[in-house]
Amino acid sequence: MFTLEECYEKGLLRKTQPSFQKALRSLDSARTWLEEGKVTLRAGAVRSAVVATYMAYFHAARSLLYRDGLREKSHRCILLYLEFYTANGKLETEFVETFERVMSLRHEDQYSLGAEPDPREIASILAYAPRFIQAMEDLAREG
């Protein structure tokens, strides 16, 4: 594990030109992935739904980085960046916790030989995703 400061020191978060347009495109991608997650879950493709659901959260969270002029090289650093927003009182912890949960589910599914993810849990995270995406959009438009 590492800290947000280490993300900068190691080049895992790098400064770039802030772009509200890229932030909006990332939010559009989040919504597209969300729809794909719903479709794949309805089709019974639970593992594909996990990946699509994570991508919805990932693109929504990444919109803040684009808006703030940052580029990531680590998904963990995105989580730490969201925690930075929480520490500054701009984001409720439930959003960070949900992002961390879906990130963990995706990681477990892709890198371990464990059991298949629970479709009910994926459905719950998918149902929460519009709130997460909207929170990220609200923050992206704030700046």
| Structure token digits, residue 61 | 């969270």
- SS3 of residue 73 by DSSP: coil
pLDDT tens per residue, range 32-49: 999 999 999 999 999 999
Strands (E), the chain: 13-15, 70-72
Question: What is residue 113's predicted lDDT score, i.e. its pLDDT?
Answer: 75
Whether 53 and 119 have beta carbons less than 8 Å apart is answered as: no
Condensed to tens digits (0 to 9), the pLDDT of residues 78-89 reads: 999 999 999 999
- Structural domain including 136 reads 4-142
CA distances from 118 to 50, 124, 142 (A): 10, 10, 36
Residue 107's pLDDT band (boundaries 50, 70, 90)? confident
Domains in the chain: how many in total?
A: 1
- For 90, which DSSP code? S
Q: Look up the CATH number of the domain holding residue 138.
A: 1.20.120.330
CB atoms within 10 A of CB 110: 11
